[in-house]
């Protein structure tokens, strides 16, 4: 989800620090490679832990992402963003995308291109005046694609079927409510449990020596299984048991009730309807 601006009431980003460190090495490890060794940075929240597996250089880089670029103002950040999202030379590209959308969705998407804030359409934007330093790394650039849309990374239909929201045609407002409910539910589910999150920032081949002691219910691999990267796994689990194979495929017959609305929603999204999830079983011998 793309969030460009932080509100006035946001706590200082430097108030969060990773304060404990443990060097993770194996017996016989070459100490001359300590600079690239994986360190375990740990943060405690009551009975819960957040652990990051980073090299020293990666930790320094991570903390630098919370530093505002010197001289960057709100107006400069806004102009940098709008210069990409509303570039005059891309007007034909934008209108081709709007062609498949409902008129109300075109208005919502145009406003997001102008402001970059995921909120219900009728809520005030003026409290959001601080550029997000994790996105604005320099004073003269915008790193994301001009068609980046918060809807792209989430289910197509569930957010639009959200109940208890008055803006029936506000697709971003519905997504905001959908995500708010998910985050609240997730936060509440953590409260009674002792949970540890462990995050690795390394090449897919590197953490194998660290992860075999753990059990994973699900592993997201994105496109690293493409032949251009690591390639498909040598063994595959069949049939799939965790997720739906064809999550975006239309399921209703053409003349069924609601089929037209489902088709229009899919057509207006960034999905084709042909996306397929493949579940793989990792072979420790390879």
Question: Do the bridges between strand 38-45 and strand 5-7 make them parallel or antiparallel, or are there none, so unpaired?
Answer: unpaired
Percent of the chain with pLDDT over 90: 19
Q: Is the pLDDT of residue 95 over 80?
A: yes
The pLDDT of 271-280, averaged and rounded, is 71
* Residue 3 confidence (pLDDT): 33
Going by pLDDT thresholds of 50, 70 and 90, the confidence category of residue 165 is: low
- Beta-bridge mates of residue 49: 44, 196
Using alpha carbons only, give the angle 153, 217, 273 rounded to the nearest 5 degrees.
35
Confidence of residue 172 (pLDDT cuts 50, 70, 90): very high
Q: Which token pair is 262? A: 């489902």
Highest mean pLDDT among 145-149, 198-202, 208-212, 216-220: 145-149
pLDDT at 23: 41
**Mind listing the pLDDT tens digit for each residue in 51-79?**
777 777 888 888 888 888 888 999 999 99
Q: pLDDT band for 232, please (50, 70, 90 cuts).
A: low
Name the band, by pLDDT with cuts 50, 70 and 90, for residue 286: low
59-68, 92-101, 131-140, 196-205: range with lowest mean pLDDT: 196-205
Task: Say which range, 3-17, 40-54, 270-284, has the weakest mean pLDDT.
Answer: 3-17
Tell the residue number behind the tokens 């990792």, with chain if given.
282
Q: What is the pLDDT of residue 64?
A: 85
Which one has a higher pLDDT value, 65 or 207?
65
What are the backbone angles phi and psi of residue 116, rounded to the nearest 5°? 70, 30
Query: Global pTM?
Result: 0.66
Question: pLDDT tens for residues 7-16?
Answer: 333 333 333 3
Q: Burial code of 65-82, b = ≥16 C-beta within 10 A, e = fewer? A: eeeeeeebeeeebbebbb
Tokens matching residue 286: 């390879």
SS3 assignment for the chain: CCCCEEECCCCCHHHCCCCEEEEECCCCCCHHHHHHCEEEEEEEECCEEEEEEECHHHHHHHHHCCCCCCCCCHHHHHHHHHHHHCCHHHHHHHHHHHHCCCHHHHHHHHHHHHHCCCCCCCCCCCCEEEECCCCCCCCCCCCCCCCCCHHHHCCCCCHHHCCCCCCCCCHHHHHHHHHHHHHHHHHHHHCCCCCEEEEECCCCCCCHHHHCCCCCCCCCCCCCCCCCCCCCCCCECCCCCCCCCCCCCCCCCCCCCCHHHHHHHHHHCCCCCCCCCCCECCCCCC
**Residue 74 to residues 49, 71, 135: CA-CA distances in angstroms?**
35, 10, 13
pLDDT for 227 equals 61
Of residues 3 and 186, more confidence is placed in 186
Q: Is the pLDDT of residue 5 over 50?
A: no
The two three-digit tokens of residue 219, written as one number: 């592993």
What's phi and psi for 54, nearest 5 deg?
Answer: -135, 155
pLDDT of residue 209: 53
Q: What is the mean pLDDT of residues 106-116?
A: 93
Phi-psi region of 117 (alpha: psi -120 to 50; beta: other; left: phi over 0): beta
What pLDDT, in 10s, does the model give residues 21-44?
A: 344 444 444 444 544 566 777 778
């Amino acid at each position: 989800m793309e969030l460009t601006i932080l509100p006035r009431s946001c706590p200082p980003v430097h108030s969060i620090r990773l304060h404990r460190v443990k060097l993770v090495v194996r017996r016989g490890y070459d100490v001359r490679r300590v600079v690239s060794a994986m360190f375990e940075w740990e943060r405690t929240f009551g009975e819960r832990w957040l652990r990051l597996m980073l090299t020293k250089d990666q930790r320094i880089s991570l903390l630098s992402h919370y530093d505002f670029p010197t001289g960057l103002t709100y107006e400069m950040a806004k102009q940098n963003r709008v210069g990409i999202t509303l570039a005059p030379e891309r007007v034909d590209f934008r209108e081709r995308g709007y062609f498949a959308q409902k008129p109300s969705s075109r208005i919502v998407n145009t406003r997001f291109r102008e402001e970059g804030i995921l909120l219900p359409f009728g809520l005030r934007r003026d409290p959001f005046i601080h550029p997000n330093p994790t996105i604005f790394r320099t004073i003269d650039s915008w790193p994301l694609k001009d068609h980046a849309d918060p809807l792209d990374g989430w289910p197509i239909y569930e957010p639009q079927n959200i109940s208890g929201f008055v803006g029936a045609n506000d697709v971003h407002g519905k997504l905001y409510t959908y995500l708010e409910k998910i985050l609240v539910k997730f936060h509440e589910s953590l409260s009674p449990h002792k949970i540890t999150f462990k995050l690795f920032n390394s090449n897919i081949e590197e953490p194998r020596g660290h992860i075999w002691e753990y059990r994973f219910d699900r592993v997201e691999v994105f496109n690293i299984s493409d032949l251009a990267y690591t390639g498909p796994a040598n063994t595959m689990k069949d049939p799939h048991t965790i997720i739906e194979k064809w999550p975006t495929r239309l399921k209703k017959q053409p003349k069924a009730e609601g089929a037209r609305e489902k088709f229009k929603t899919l057509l207006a999204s960034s999905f084709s309807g042909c996306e397929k999830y493949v579940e793989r079983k990792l072979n420790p011998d390879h």
